[in-house]
Structure 1
Amino acid sequence: MSETLELKQWSDRYIAQWNEPDPAARKELVRELWAPDGLQVLVNPPQEVREAAANLAVPHPSLEVRGHDGLNARVSRAYDLFIAPGEHVFQAAEEPAVLMPNVVAVRWSMVSIATGEAVGGGLEVITLGEDGRIRTDHQFVGVG
């Protein structure tokens, strides 16, 4: 199997965790994909979070979640907010790209089920451990 195909299959599994309706299967995907101390950083949080942080003299806040339990809660909440209502699904926006050894970029879209049009999206810059699991994931929402 080619390295490109393996990366594509890995990327598909990454996106699948965000769409997975079964909580037990979603939790298992998180455990398979992420290192036990894996970290996701939402680099550019929503405007209201940035405004609240600015009021506290924090100019560029980011939001972080670490570890399987925290990551499962993060993925589950995203599912509840964006996928469970039945209006959207997350999809790959393009093929994943290797940026350097153990660093990949995954571009994604949130797509309307009714129209097939992208209504949102972003970029993940992911570092992988030697075991192929996610060590860090820097998420840039709205970057596409």
Structure 2
Amino acid sequence: MNATRDLIANYIRSWNETDPLRRRALIEDVYAEHASYTDPLAQARGWEAIDATIGAVQDMFPGHRFTLAGEVDAHHDVARFHWHLVAPGADEPLVIGFDVAELDGGRIRRVHGFLDKVPMAA
């Protein structure tokens, strides 16, 4: 279970890493080469597309940080966990989400993301 917790912690780190080279290294370490990421607003397949998706989210929410919200629950190569996206200096998360990750050989093969709280459009 510790390996799965560490993998998910690195997954969250990849969403926070703003240096393109370090982010790409994390992505290649965390995700299988042809992994997929899907949530209500995005769909990405492979390292390039996942990297582009993370970069786009960072551009949309500059300075915000993802945090793991609670424990990682895992069994049979599947992990689920909640996360928050928090603005600098904010007490409450701007976005709250829930992800389910399918694992394969110590890496993430597929992520199914759900958004529980999203900001209202201006």
TM-score interval, smaller chain: 0.7 to 0.9
Matched with 1:94 is: 70
Determine what percentage of the aligned residue pairs are the same residue.
29
Q: Which residue of 2 aligns with 1:77?
A: 56
What SS does the aligned partner of 1:75 have? Answer: helix
Q: Which has the higher strand share?
A: 2
Q: CA deviation at 1:141?
A: 1.4
d(CA) in 2 for partners of 1:8, 1:116: 25
Structure number with bigger Rg: 1
- In the alignment, which residue of structure 2 is the partner of 1:132? 106
Deviations 1:98-125 (A, max 9, x none): 1x30000021001132123212110110
Paired letter, 2:69: A
Q: Compare the two structures and name the one with the higher helix fraction.
A: 1
Query: 2:79, 2:102 within 8 Å by CA — same for their partners in 1?
Result: yes
Aligned length: 117
Q: Secondary structure at the match of 2:94?
A: strand
Note the C-alpha offset of 1:23.
0.6
After superposition, give the CA deviation of every residue in 1:65-103 in whole Å (9 maximum; x if it has no partner).
101111111111112222xx32x21101111111x3000
Paired residues of 2:85 and 2:94 also in contact (CA < 8 A): yes
* Aligned twin of 1:27: 24
TM-score normalised over the length of structure 1: 0.75
